[in-house]
Amino acid sequence: MIKEEYPKVYLYRRIVQAKLFIDSNFMHKIDVDDISDEAFFSKFHFIRLFKSMYGKTPHQYLKSVRIEKARQFLKEGKSVTEACFSVGFDSLSSFSGCFKRIAGESPSNYSKQQEMVKKNIDKKPLAFVPSCYAYQHGWLENSNFEEASK
Amino acid sequence: MITKMTVTNVNVIDQDSAYDFYVNKLGFRVVDDIPMGPGTRWLTVSPPEQPDLQIVLFPVTVSKMFPKEVAENLIDLIKKGIFGCGVFTCKDIFATYEELKGKGVEFIKPPTKEFYGTEALFKDDSGNFFSLQPINNFNDEEHS
């Protein structure tokens, strides 16, 4: 361990603790004050340290976690409205705007696209597997997985 | 001309356990999780900021690729920690080290200054090891 370069381990631990607080509380109405309280820092000192470690302000990070989780919910088949409220947004319009800025497309487009992918996976799962891997597994010889699992 | 790597694999002993490690501990995103018949699935993940690289969590089971003896030997070597599978980068190695250690990831080397920059080594749930380095190890002029 390089002690001279890692002297403020308590600082790292407090910022990491705040990051983990965001990871497990993104679905609630939390703001930077709550997060900086969690790390026992003044708000501005906290924002500066957080950004230096993660490249994003706590607020930007919170938004990215919420949108990432929303993508997961939409992929699993939740509606846009359900995804919106499940990740801590309280209005559909702010959710849609934020989603589009971060994911590059609207949540409804993303949802439709995922639905189509799911249908294609159900129809032709092997189309998603490079054939070298499918061959190694022996999947090419028995591609009727539904039959196989009965 | 080869332009980039899109799919690579890590041989794992148990896919369910590997899913938990790579998704819930390392924070990777699931790209594909497709059932391929009884007891087998196509499972790939990506590092959060590298969606175009799929890492296949490839189970070492007796198959066309791994006859029984090969599978057993390979599992044995993986468990012994013989295989280094690559380098992951992060913005801040100390913050990442603290977070992963707190989540139960086993480090075989804490962040340490080497001639090429700061590096830590950690093991996955199967026994494969990876290097963890800050992105600025790769940003200096010598690498460009």
pLDDT digits (tens, 9 = 90+) for A4-28: 456 578 888 889 999 999 999 999 9
Mean pLDDT throughout A105-111?
97
Instruction: Judge if ipTM > 0.95.
Output: no
Residue pLDDT, tens place only, B68-124: 999 999 999 999 999 999 999 999 999 999 999 999 999 999 999 999 899 999 999
pLDDT band at A150 (very low <50, low <70, confident <90, very high): very low
**Lateral strand order in the sheet of B84-90:** B84-90, B129-134, B117-123, B106-114
Residue pLDDT, tens place only, A26-63: 999 988 888 887 777 788 888 999 999 999 999 999 99
Which residues from chain B sit within 8 angstroms of residue A117, using beta carbons? none
Best residue in A133, A137, A140, A145 for a mutation probing chain B (most B CBs within 10 Å)? A137
Specify the 3-state DSSP secondary structure of A47.
helix
Mean pLDDT throughout B129-137?
92
Burial group, residue A116, by CB count within 10 angstroms (0-12, 13-18, 19+): exposed
Record the tokens describing residue A130, joined without a space.
């490079």
Residue A120's pLDDT is what? 94
Residue B138's pLDDT is what? 77
A1 has pLDDT over 70? no
- The dihedral of CA A123, A128, A131, A135: what is its sign? negative
Q: Do B91 and A1 make contact, defined as CB atoms within 8 angstroms?
A: no
DSSP string, A106-118: -HHHHHHHHHHHH
Residue pLDDT, tens place only, A64-86: 999 999 999 999 999 999 999 99
Residue B37's pLDDT is what? 78
Which residues from chain B sit within 8 angstroms of residue A133, using beta carbons? 7, 9, 42, 56, 58
B140 has pLDDT over 70? no
B141 has pLDDT over 70? no
Mean pLDDT throughout A105-133?
93
Record the tokens describing residue A46, joined without a space.
């906290």
Residue A144's pLDDT is what? 56
